[in-house]
Structure 1
Amino acid sequence: MSQIKPLIPLLITAGILIGGNGLQATFISLRALQEGFSASTIGLVGTGYNIGFALGCVYVTRIMRSIGHIRTFSALAAIASAASIAMALLIVPWFWFSMRLMQGLCFAGLFAVVESWLNARVTNSNRARTLSIYRFVDLGSVTLAQYLIPSVGISGFQLFAVISMALSLSLVPISFADRSSPGAPEAIRFDIKTLWNISPLATIGCIVVGLTNSVFRSLGPVYAQGIGLSVTEIATFMSVGIFAGIVLQYPLGAYSDRLDRRLIILISSLGSLAACLFLSFLAGSNEWRNFAGIFVFGAFCMPLYSLCSAHANDHAAKGQHALVSAGTLFFWSVGAIVGPLFASFMLDMFGPRVLFAYMAVVLFLFMLYTLQRMTVREGVPTERRSMRFRNLLRTSTFFNKLATPPSERDKP
């Protein structure tokens, strides 16, 4: 416990940020519906966040290298807080798109600062424990934050104020962290062509995760309201899908370390596809069927990002693992930009049931591509894999470093 104690302020800050971000994603969709925004407009607003997040992933290390961790965090937290409260003052689509874009950029930087700082302070002796606590903080804060929506209500300015307060208060624990700020992080290199050459399947897989998981986070509340769920049931629907993401992470990851990872990717895609078809055609408006369907969806679909990242690392040469970490997050962002926008137009035309039907089509095509790749390239034998499966969050490129012991990292 003495080794974890210095990291507690950073973990508290991470919990506030992750919870506030998860709360805001659901709330913005529900509030936009109340304000009369169409599904396509809500999708556009969600796309704004993902565009900002992608830009933040590219540029945040430059800012951190220029002004340091704590100044970067303070500036970005202040901007994100102001953007949250500003959305209550002017409720028009173009302004909300701009504010969500700004928030995406800020959150990419905020998570990068926290995880870079944690990575600099964690040791091999407390790495596993820190990661377990971090995952608990992630899961608990996002799940509990959803229930602020029915408690506070989606009308008025109260939830905007709560989110703004949370972002402002995130400065407090990090200000009490170790006074010695970490050194400037290494610049992150993005090389799209190289990552594609390392693993076309992992590249497409990360885009597919963006096309599906981001749609659930952005438009899941729209689907849930469209089938008649109450605000409390919508919060539960979103929480169940998020919580389920941890259930099969480790079993699927363990099997992928022993078998051809592409087989586990195929199984994970199949389970996700089955859940999407159930939600599209069999769940109806029954809340328990929808809870069961979204639980299965989350259990199988959420691990796909980590599985694809592990598969890319299997094929990466020495010195390319950092590039893989940055590239997989970038390609996820590409899918996350396109997915909500396209799916929202489908929602406007065909109604809520089309949301998971769209995802079923995407997953089915990905399964076909996975099968095709298995016929043209041999799997990497387990003894030749330089890195094991890691349960990764899509928060920043530094999480992969945090999850990887120095013995398995690239050597300079």
Structure 2
Amino acid sequence: MHSSLALIWTITAATTLLQAGNGLLQALMPLRMQAEGLSVSSIGVVAAAYGLGFSTGCFLAPSFIRHVGYIRAFASLAAMVSVLVLAMTQAHSTLAWILLRGLTGVTLACIFTVTDGWISARATSSHRGRILSVYMICTKVTLMLSPLGIGLGDIRMDGLFMAVSALISLSLLPIAATTTKEPAAPQGVRIEVKKLFATAPSAVVGAFVVGLVNGPVIAITPVFGVTIGLGQDQAAALLFALQAGSLTMQWPLGWLSDRADRRYVIAGLAAGTSLVSLLILWASAQGANLLILWAFAAWGGLALCIYSVCVAHACDIVEPGQIVSTIGTLLFSWAAGVTVGPLFGAMAMEAIGPQGLFIYSAVAALGLTAFIVVRILRVQRSPAKGGFADIAPSSSASASLTPRADIKAEDQPVGPDAEPHQAPGGAEAADQKEASAVARIETSS
């Protein structure tokens, strides 16, 4: 374990500090925008700008990193995010928020490509599970706890934004102090939506609907909480509950997803998301604040885990040499959903009231359930062979974090009796099991 930590301590420390600022920012921005008098629809447009910026950054990042290297890329991008956060203290119009949030989407996507690429370069088959578990649990727990910092200041003042900027600036220190050699620059990624849809339609549609649902819920949840009568501390705690539920479900979902047709898991998660959305509606109507918190934890444990199962399902089907392109295509599908999803979620809240957000969530998740069930009835697949890892929609570099990343195409058997997509045996299979329940950061919004 000590040798594994030595390989990744700098990037883990940097990402932990960065996510501490990012998690607090997720809770702070919608509450600040609401306090500035922006409508729910305007907040939804700002969230959509983040999705558009994030998707753009995912595909600009490889060429930027190849040009300046990992360390310089991280340093310059983190400095830019820090400045953008400070600029938010002077944002008093919807257009200003759109521009600033869109730019933070671009820069954060590039930063996550740096961190994913750095970690994937260190995560070989001999210690993949240990490296990923340390890195991802540290960052996930930080992202979960940091929204609670909203109670340390007044959202109408600039102190919390200054704290976010300070945390992001501090993330530069471990990177600047590193003495390790930076990894080789990442390659570009090909986007082949039509081709992947023909091969794994459940994964493509699932990734898109994840963006449609998770994007607005994460972006607008603090506003939802305040609108139904919660204090700003309690509203921020809803984000904590979402991430805590997601973290809790990693182990059981990793176990289950590696032992069944993953489409059953996707359908079950989507159906559960729809039901829990209705539970949130009922609990908010009753004013049952404790039940609302638990319901949000259940929602996070279901909805925030769908994307990783979609990735695992697609990677079960495609050739090993296509994994990077596959994850890049699923990332593109997610980005399309997260760009338009906040618009739909905000429109539902404007038309129906705060409950509209989870009516929208319930309907969208139910639609995904129906699509997956139809696919299961039409096409039978054998149970998965193992190798689940909870990969969030962060960058195409996360392709190398999947357990099958070490499988080379030439190692696969060919011919009529071959099973080309079976996970490897022996030590590598044991390593895949170790990586199965790794907790992955959720940075989609």
Q: TM-score range by the shorter chain?
A: over 0.9
2:141 corresponds to: 140
Measure the CA separation in 2 of the matches of 1:410 and 1:4: 30
Give runs of aligned pairs for residues 10-409 of structure 1, distance below 5 A: 10-284=11-285, 285-382=287-384, 385=385, 388-404=387-403, 406-408=405-407
Measure the CA separation in 1 of the matches of 2:230 and 2:283: 16
1:204-227: per-residue Cα shift (whole Å, max 9, x none)?
100111111111210111111111
Work out the percentage of aligned pairs sharing the same amino acid.
30
CA drift at 1:406:
4.8
SS in 2 for 1:4: helix
Are 1:8 and 2:9 an aligned pair?
yes
Task: Verify the 8 A CA contact 1:319 1:411 in the aligned structure 2.
Answer: no
Task: Verify the 8 A CA contact 1:88 1:157 in the aligned structure 2.
Answer: yes
Task: Verify the 8 A CA contact 1:69 1:113 in the aligned structure 2.
Answer: yes
CA drift at 1:3:
3.3
Measure the CA separation in 1 of the matches of 2:49 and 2:353: 23
Q: Point out the more displaced range, 310-319 or 203-212.
A: 310-319
Q: Point out the more displaced range, 44-53 or 112-121.
A: 112-121
1:229-257: per-residue Cα shift (whole Å, max 9, x none)?
11111121110111101222232232222
Task: Verify the 8 A CA contact 1:127 1:403 in the aligned structure 2.
Answer: no
Aligned residue-pair number: 409
CA drift at 1:141:
1.0
SS in 2 for 1:320: helix
Q: Which amino acid aligns with 2:47?
A: G
1:147-198: per-residue Cα shift (whole Å, max 9, x none)?
2111122121111111112222211111122342222212222222222122
Q: Point out the more displaced range, 31-40 or 286-295.
A: 286-295
SS in 1 for 2:258: helix
Q: Point out the more displaced range, 49-58 or 370-379.
A: 370-379
SS in 1 for 2:82: helix
In the superposition, the TM-score normalised over structure 1's length comes to 0.95
Measure the CA separation in 2 of the matches of 1:396 and 1:137: 19
2:425 corresponds to: none
Measure the CA separation in 1 of the matches of 2:320 and 2:126: 25
Q: Which amino acid aligns with 1:217?
A: I
Q: Which amino acid aligns with 2:387?
A: R
Task: Verify the 8 A CA contact 1:250 1:391 in the aligned structure 2.
Answer: no
Task: Verify the 8 A CA contact 2:387 2:404 in the aligned structure 1.
Answer: no
Measure the CA separation in 2 of the matches of 1:171 and 1:356: 38
Q: Which amino acid aligns with 1:365?
A: G
Task: Verify the 8 A CA contact 1:318 1:410 in the aligned structure 2.
Answer: yes
RMSD: 1.7
Q: Which amino acid aligns with 1:195?
A: L
Task: Verify the 8 A CA contact 1:211 1:338 in the aligned structure 2.
Answer: yes
CA pair 3-252 structure 1, distance change in 2 beyond 3 A: closer
Q: Structure 2: 5+ residue runs without aligned partners?
A: 412-445
Q: Structure 1: 5+ residue runs without aligned partners?
A: none
1:125-164: per-residue Cα shift (whole Å, max 9, x none)?
3321121112221222112211211112212111111111
Q: Which amino acid aligns with 2:183?
A: P
Task: Verify the 8 A CA contact 2:17 2:168 in the aligned structure 1.
Answer: yes
Task: Verify the 8 A CA contact 1:309 1:328 in the aligned structure 2.
Answer: yes
Q: Which amino acid aligns with 2:354?
A: P
1:238-279: per-residue Cα shift (whole Å, max 9, x none)?
101111012222322322222221111111112111100111
Q: Point out the more displaced range, 230-239 or 312-321.
A: 312-321
Task: Verify the 8 A CA contact 1:195 1:323 in the aligned structure 2.
Answer: no
CA drift at 1:399:
2.5
